C-alpha cells in the first residue's frame, strides 16, 4: 500500500514537472516564433534581389553572395 502511494506520488510529481517544463519550452518557442515572424515581416519589405545571382538579400545587410561580379 505504501509502495503504491509512493509510486502514485512519484507519477504526479513527474507529471507536474513535465507540464511545467513543457509549458516553459512552449512559451520560449512562442516567443521565438513571434520574433521570427517579426523578422520575416521586417525582412520582406527590405529585401532586394541580386541581379547577378538571383539571391534575395536584406537591403540593410547587403552581404556579398560570393560571386565575383556581385554588386553587394
Residues that bind Zn ion (CB under 5 A): 50, 52-53, 65, 70
- Residue with Cβ nearer Zn ion (33 or 52): 52
Q: How far apart are CA 8 and CA 18, in angstroms?
A: 15
Q: How far apart are CA 72 and CA 52, in angstroms?
A: 10
Residue pair 58/47 in contact (Cβ under 8 Å)? The answer is yes
Q: Which residues are bridge partners to 58 per DSSP?
A: 47
The three cell numbers of residue 18 are 513535465
- Residue with Cβ nearer Zn ion (58 or 65): 65
Q: Smallest gap, in angstroms, from Cβ of residue 60 to Zn ion? A: 16
- Residue with Cβ nearer Zn ion (34 or 49): 49
Amino acid at each position: 500500500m505504501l509502495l503504491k502511494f509512493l509510486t502514485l506520488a512519484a507519477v504526479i510529481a513527474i507529471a507536474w514537472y513535465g507540464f511545467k517544463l513543457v509549458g516553459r519550452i512552449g512559451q520560449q518557442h512562442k516567443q521565438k516564433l513571434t520574433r521570427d515572424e517579426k523578422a520575416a515581416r521586417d525582412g520582406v519589405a527590405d529585401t532586394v534581389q541580386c541581379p547577378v545571382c538571383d539571391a534575395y538579400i536584406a537591403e540593410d545587410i547587403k552581404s556579398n553572395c560570393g560571386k565575383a561580379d556581385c554588386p553587394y
